[in-house]
Amino acid sequence: MTEAHSQTAVGQIIADAIQQGITRALELNNNSQQEDKNFYTEPLKYNGDRLASIVIPAPNTPVIPASESIMSVVFPRNSASMSKTLVCDFFIVDPHTHIFRQRSDRETRFPTLLRKFRVAIANGYIQPTSNFEHLLGTSIDTTGTIDLRPLLDSQMSTYILAFDKPKQLAVMLRDSLFRPKPTTTFSVDKWKTFWSLPIFPSILTVWYRAIHHKLPNKSLLHNIVPQSFPSATCIHCPQTEDTLHHFLYDCPTKKSIWLQCLSTFFPDVPIVPGRILSILLLLDYGHFQNKKSTVATSLSFISIIGCILLGIWRSHWKLVFDDRPFTTTRVLPLCSSIVWQLHFQSLVD
């Protein structure tokens, strides 16, 4: 075989391995991976044997009394469970590569025991029998199958590490092949302006989550955990879906709080419908960026927007966890308190 043909063959092998990995990763990401049911009927030695039959003491194994077993000494708290564990519970013939390998945590019924088994192997407390160790990493069905382990071990160590951990492989392939769509299209300068706003970090946290549509409104919670949140309607407006816009501003109760609080600190500024949401979600400050309050003179319009957002956020959770009424007479004083706290802190700074 010429050198060119050799390189082509190696390239094809790697390409096939990656393709198999991609297929497997996508199946994992889509939660469509199925148990390899054929494994339990494979005519493979050790398959139905107890796990204890294929492990032997290693250099660091504690002294084993005559009345004890290796499982009871190495796994004292789980000796009963370990003694009943089968080889096929921890090892599997990979359905894609036909290589005999250790199962991942997602592929076993006993993930906790499997992790303890790995630790025991890594620390040299036990080791597989020589015959079994020789079997690992080899192809069981050699017909039309190439054992890629030596090639990938030497040339693609990072890949083979991920290949042994399906979740890592899935993430690696997803990020490289299917680039995540950005939640926002904000420029770097817009983000710098946002993070440099002279407001409390707690305000920035809530605001940042709102920008990325990650605030726990009822509509979002209903889609994620419908069992816990069977309804997507607003707490205050039972006939209206609690979308992000409704959660932040469109709810009549919250809209009243926004307008009253803003009119207190900016009595001469008319509020156009939708302008608050544009500032919150699009960071479209416009001419409001440098607009100073005539009451809390150290604060800009944008800073007070953040204070009101935090006041509404805290009042919402007081309603959820403490059953404290969410009313204008209760929320407005809290919003004003946050504004004055920020104002006096700004004067000190």
Q: Which domain holds residue 318?
A: 188-348
pLDDT in tens, 192-210: 999 999 999 999 999 999 9
Does residue 182 lie within any of the structural domains? no
In this structure, the answer to whether residues 50 and 132 fall within a common structural domain is yes
In this structure, the answer to whether residues 219 and 316 fall within a common structural domain is yes
Least confident of 95-104, 128-137, 236-245, 295-304: 128-137
pLDDT, residue 73, reads: 87
pLDDT of residue 310 exceeding 70, the answer is yes
Taking the C-alpha atoms of residue 1 and residue 340, their distance in angstroms, rounded to an integer, is 81
Does residue 293 lie within any of the structural domains? yes
Torsion angle of the four alpha carbons 98, 104, 110, 115, in this order, in degrees rounded to the nearest 10: 130
pLDDT in tens, 290-301: 899 999 999 999
pLDDT, residue 177, reads: 58
pLDDT of residue 141 exceeding 60, the answer is no
Most confident of 128-137, 163-172, 208-217: 208-217
Structure tokens at 288: 């409001």
pLDDT, residue 42, reads: 36
pLDDT, residue 225, reads: 87
pLDDT of residue 348 exceeding 50, the answer is yes
In this structure, the answer to whether residues 287 and 144 fall within a common structural domain is no
pLDDT, residue 181, reads: 66
Least confident of 62-71, 163-172, 183-192: 163-172
In this structure, the answer to whether residues 46 and 105 fall within a common structural domain is yes
Picking from 123, 145, 177, the residue at the C-terminal end of a domain is 177
In this structure, the answer to whether residues 8 and 77 fall within a common structural domain is yes
Say which residue, 307 or 59, is predicted with more confidence. 307
CB 329 within 8 A of CB 260: no
pLDDT, residue 199, reads: 95
Integer CA distances (angstroms), 157 to 65, 152, 162, 190, 340, in order: 41, 6, 9, 40, 58
Partners of 56 in the β-ladder: 127
Say which residue, 168 or 96, is predicted with more confidence. 96
Does residue 183 lie within any of the structural domains? no
Q: Widest CA span of the chain, in angstroms?
A: 90
Burial 116-127 (b: 16+ CB within 10 A, else e): bbeebeeeebbb
Smallest Cα–Cα separation from 125: which of 115, 117, 114, 136? 117
In this structure, the answer to whether residues 283 and 329 fall within a common structural domain is yes
In this structure, the answer to whether residues 153 and 292 fall within a common structural domain is no
Look at the chain and report how many structural domains it folds into.
Answer: 2
pLDDT, residue 71, reads: 87
By three-state DSSP, how is residue 256 classified?
Answer: helix
pLDDT band for position 234 (cuts 50, 70, 90): very high
In this structure, the answer to whether residues 196 and 222 fall within a common structural domain is yes
Does residue 285 lie within any of the structural domains? yes
In this structure, the answer to whether residues 142 and 239 fall within a common structural domain is no
pLDDT band for position 17 (cuts 50, 70, 90): low
pLDDT in tens, 46-73: 556 788 888 888 888 888 887 788 888 8
Does residue 83 lie within any of the structural domains? yes
In this structure, the answer to whether residues 70 and 173 fall within a common structural domain is yes
Mean pLDDT of the chain: 79
**Percent over 90 (pLDDT), the chain:** 38
pLDDT of residue 1 exceeding 50, the answer is no
Picking from 122, 154, 177, the residue at the C-terminal end of a domain is 177
Least confident of 49-53, 56-60, 316-320, 336-340: 49-53
Does residue 246 lie within any of the structural domains? yes
In this structure, the answer to whether residues 156 and 206 fall within a common structural domain is no
pLDDT of residue 142 exceeding 50, the answer is no
Picking from 158, 177, 196, the residue at the C-terminal end of a domain is 177
Taking the C-alpha atoms of residue 154 and residue 229, their distance in angstroms, rounded to an integer, is 51
Does residue 217 lie within any of the structural domains? yes
Smallest Cα–Cα separation from 53: which of 30, 87, 17? 87
Taking the C-alpha atoms of residue 327 and residue 334, their distance in angstroms, rounded to an integer, is 11
Say which residue, 66 or 165, is predicted with more confidence. 66
Q: How far is Cα of residue 304 from the mean position of the Cα atoms in its chain?
A: 33
Say which residue, 180 or 184, is predicted with more confidence. 184
In this structure, the answer to whether residues 86 and 207 fall within a common structural domain is no
Taking the C-alpha atoms of residue 248 and residue 281, their distance in angstroms, rounded to an integer, is 10
Most confident of 3-7, 154-158, 328-332: 328-332
Does residue 166 lie within any of the structural domains? yes
By three-state DSSP, how is residue 44 classified?
Answer: coil
Integer CA distances (angstroms), 135 to 25, 118, 150, in order: 25, 17, 14
